[in-house]
Every structure is written in C-alpha cells, then in structure tokens.
Amino acid sequence: MTTLIIEKQRTGSWWKELWVQVLIAMAAGVLLGAVSPGLGAQMQPLGDAFIKVIRMLIAPIIFCTVVHGIAHMADMARVGRVALKAIVYFEIMTTIALIIGLIAVNVLKPGAGMNIDPASINAAAIEPYVKQTAAVGFVPFLMNIIPGTFVGAFAEGNILQVLFIAVVCGFALVQLGERAKPLVDIIDIAAKMIFAVVGIVMWAAPIGAFGAIAFTVGKFGVGSLASLGKLLVCFYLTCVVFIIVALGPVARLCGFSLLKLIRYIRAELLICIATTSSETVLPRMISKLENLGCEESVVGLVIPTGYSFNLDGTCLYLATTSVFLAQATNTPLDLGQQIALLIILLVTSKGAAGIAGAAFVVLAATLAATGTIPVASVALVLGIHRLMSQALTPTNLVGNAVATIVVAKWENAVDENRLKRVLDGDARLATP
C-alpha cells in the first residue's frame, strides 16, 4: 500500500544514500559542537524543526495504515490474536531488559564511591518533571488510551489514542462490507499521499541530524561529564549486551540475521541517535518492514503498539539509572528491594507514552513509588539524559523491528523469500 520511502541503491552513487548523508552531517555536527560550543548549541532549532514535521505526520500515517490493514484483513479474531501475541512478546522482552539492566548496574557499580548527600542536591531543576509523575502509572495509562474527542487524539499526536480510534474504525469498515470499499480506497490514496510527503521531508534528515548532534555536543560537551562517564559507559555497554544476548537469539530462532537487519535500518538508527527520538523514523520503519515482506496489517498493529509497550531501551535506562542513583547516594538496596523495583518498573514503564521527556518522568515516578531512593537524586542524571537517550532510542527501534518480524512469523504473515533477499541486499527489492 505504502510508497516505499527508503534510500535507493545506486551503483557508484554511495554518497546519495540517506545513511551516508546523515553520517556525514552528524560528523559535521560533532565537529561544530566541539570547536564552537556556543554556535553548536544554537543549531537546536534545526533538529527540533525536523522532529516536529515528522511528528505532524505520524497520527495520519498510523490511522490510514491500521484502518486499511484491518479492513483488508476482514477477520476481527485475527486482529485480536495478533495484538495478544504482540503484547505477550513485549512483556517478556521488557522484563528481560529490566533484568539485564539490574544485573549490569550491580556488576559494574557505576555509582559506587560518589558519596552524594541527597540533601546537598538542588532539586529545582527537576520540579517540572516531578509534577508530571501524578499522571504516570498503569491505570492512568489505560485511561489515557481513550481520547477526550475524536479529533483531539490527532491534534495531540497521542500514538495509542490514534491507534485505538483506527482499530475501532477498521472494525466498523469490516462490518460494513462492500459498502465501505469507496472509503477504504480513499484511505489508501490518503496514505500514499502522506508517505510521499514523508519522502519529501526526509531530504531534510541530514540537516535535522546535524542540528541535533551539534546542539548535544555544544551544550553538554565531554569534559564536564567526566564524573558521570562511568554511568554512560555502563549504560551504552548494557544496551549492546541486550541487543546481542536477548535480541540476537530471538532473531536466530526466527530465521533471520540481526546484523543484517541492523544494516538494513542503519539510516533510521543514525537518525534516532542524532535526534534522540524514535518517532522521527516511525513512517520509514512501517515502509521498510512492509518491504521486508511483513503483512501491512501486522506491521500497522505491532509497530505503533510497540512504541508504548515495547520500549526495551527505556527499560534498560530505568533499571540502570535507578540503581545507579542508589549507589551514588549510598542508599541500601538489597535483592528483595531490587525485585520490588523491577515489578514497579514493569508497571511504570508502560506509562511513558505521550509524555515529554518520558523516560526521565517515569524515572522520577518510579523513585517516588519505591520511597527508598531519594527523588531529588534524579537531578544527578538530568544533564546527561540526552546522551543516554542516544543509546536507548536506537535500542527501542531495533527491539520493535525484531518484534514486528517475530509476530509476523508467528502469524505466517511474512514472505520468507523476500525477507531473506532484502536483508541480503537485493537492490531490486530496495526501490518501489
């Protein structure tokens, strides 16, 4: 259905590929931020503008893709089955992510020896985040799935609310049968138009990546973060371990190479790293996963749902940072308390959708819920949150890409031959 908006493979024109352009732009941004921090920090609007334009298109893309997919599936039982399988998979993988995060931070102990007195921390900087914690939690999260108005969900860009409306509308079109065909055709045309717009907007991806990475390097630098460098190394290493140890075996069991998948979505990963937002590549991920041979209806359900329920990188961040703060403030945290923390994280991590600075807000909410680790201590990681996001967002992306293929495999909704050929780099399948 969609117009494929991925880079073309042109012999002798490697520099025209999006991932190469983004990589060059990121290198230029790092250089500018290092040489002229003040000027680099002023590049923030370039990254923010690119993110805003993409987010503007996400709601209509999800609506059109899901409605069109369900209408053509014409089987409500199958829709429910796909959703259930996806949720079960998400819960298993996020639990594994939390466990790996807890093990890593206990082994590496990045906060040991910092001896921070919580009373000496200026908590004023985190007040805006702490105020949002009242809205974070599993029950408020479930209630938030239902929008206040039909149009409000699109205006606010809430992914789960738009998904909820799309599923209901898709079911309604299935019940209408042949009478709904003209509207389904219109939705199909609208989706193609929106994906074409995304294709145009993606020409600005290198500019957005340049602005975002220049701001990060110029604003935070490396020298001023020496005291928290151990946490950064620990977290980046934990994300790599999770991808290799958890996602790698899952990919092998399902008959595809994780490394080849990462190579296939390398442009999207670079954009995620630069912008610290996985939403910026959601439209491209939908197109690329359909191009792999996964059915449109499965992709349309799994990817948007995964953006709220399957945040592997966010779970790693929450587990690692929570225990780090306990170590840094010399807060005792025995095995039983850490297991309780894991259970709370399984709940609070699902409340991250639709909140600005979601991972940081949920971190504050989690500490408030445990009542053990001082909430004010989250101010210690406020300055490096963006740098940590440059690891957690691509981890989220890889996790959702694997999840989509896995669920499609369970449903026999993937073209195995096409999957292999695309991941092997067949250029004939990389263009519309």
One digit per residue, the tens of pLDDT, for the chain of length 432 reads 544 444 444 444 666 677 788 889 888 988 888 888 889 889 988 888 888 888 888 888 888 888 888 887 766 777 888 888 998 999 899 999 999 999 999 999 888 887 777 776 666 656 655 555 545 555 666 777 788 888 888 887 777 788 889 889 988 988 888 888 899 899 989 988 988 888 888 888 899 889 888 887 787 665 545 557 888 899 999 999 999 999 999 999 999 999 999 999 999 999 988 888 888 888 889 999 999 999 988 898 898 888 878 888 888 998 999 999 999 888 888 888 888 888 888 777 765 544 445 677 778 777 876 778 888 888 778 777 878 888 999 999 999 999 999 999 999 999 999 999 999 876 566 544
- Write down the pLDDT at residue 224: 46
- Write down the pLDDT at residue 239: 95
Residues 6 or more apart whose CB falls under 8 angstroms from that of 261 comprise 251, 398, 401, 402, 405, 423
- CA 170 to CA 74: how far, in whole Å? 9
pLDDT digits (tens, 9 = 90+) for 234-259: 999 999 999 999 999 999 999 999 99
Place of tokens 């050929």: 421
Structure tokens at 407: 């669920």
- Whether 9 is in a domain gets the answer no
* Beta bridge partners of residue 294, listed in sequence order: 414
Cα dihedral 421, 427, 430, 432 sign: negative
- CA 205 to CA 331: how far, in whole Å? 43
- Whether 45 is in a domain gets the answer yes
* Beta bridge partners of residue 414, listed in sequence order: 294
- CA 346 to CA 361: how far, in whole Å? 15
What is the count of structural domains for the chain? Answer: 1
Residue 354 DSSP symbol? T
- Write down the pLDDT at residue 127: 62
Give the closest residue to 79 by CA, choosing from 353, 402, 407, 415: 407
Locate the DSSP E strands across 238-346: none
- Whether 184 is in a domain gets the answer yes
Place of tokens 């306990």: 326
**Full domain range(s) for residue 235:** 14-429
- Whether 327 is in a domain gets the answer yes
Structure tokens at 142: 């479930």
Give helix then strand counts, H and E, for the chain: 22, 0
- CA 55 to CA 165: how far, in whole Å? 18
- Write down the pLDDT at residue 154: 86
Structure tokens at 202: 């993606």
Residues 6 or more apart whose CB falls under 8 angstroms from that of 368 comprise 130, 133, 375
Q: What string of DSSP letters covers 56-103?
A: HHHHHHHHHHHHHHHHHH--HHHHHHHHHHHHHHHHHHHHHHHHHHHH
- Whether 256 is in a domain gets the answer yes
Diameter of the chain measured on Cα atoms: 69
- Whether 7 is in a domain gets the answer no
- Write down the pLDDT at residue 397: 93
| Cα dihedral 249/397/160/144 (nearest 10) | 90
- Write down the pLDDT at residue 9: 41
- Whether 8 is in a domain gets the answer no
Coil vs helix vs strand at 330: coil
Residue 48 DSSP symbol? H
Structure tokens at 131: 């105020």
Structure tokens at 258: 């994780």
- Whether 1 is in a domain gets the answer no
Give the closest residue to 227 by CA, choosing from 110, 318, 330: 110
For residue 243, give the CATH number of its domain: 1.10.3860.10
Give the closest residue to 322 by CA, choosing from 101, 172, 23, 115: 101
- Write down the pLDDT at residue 222: 55
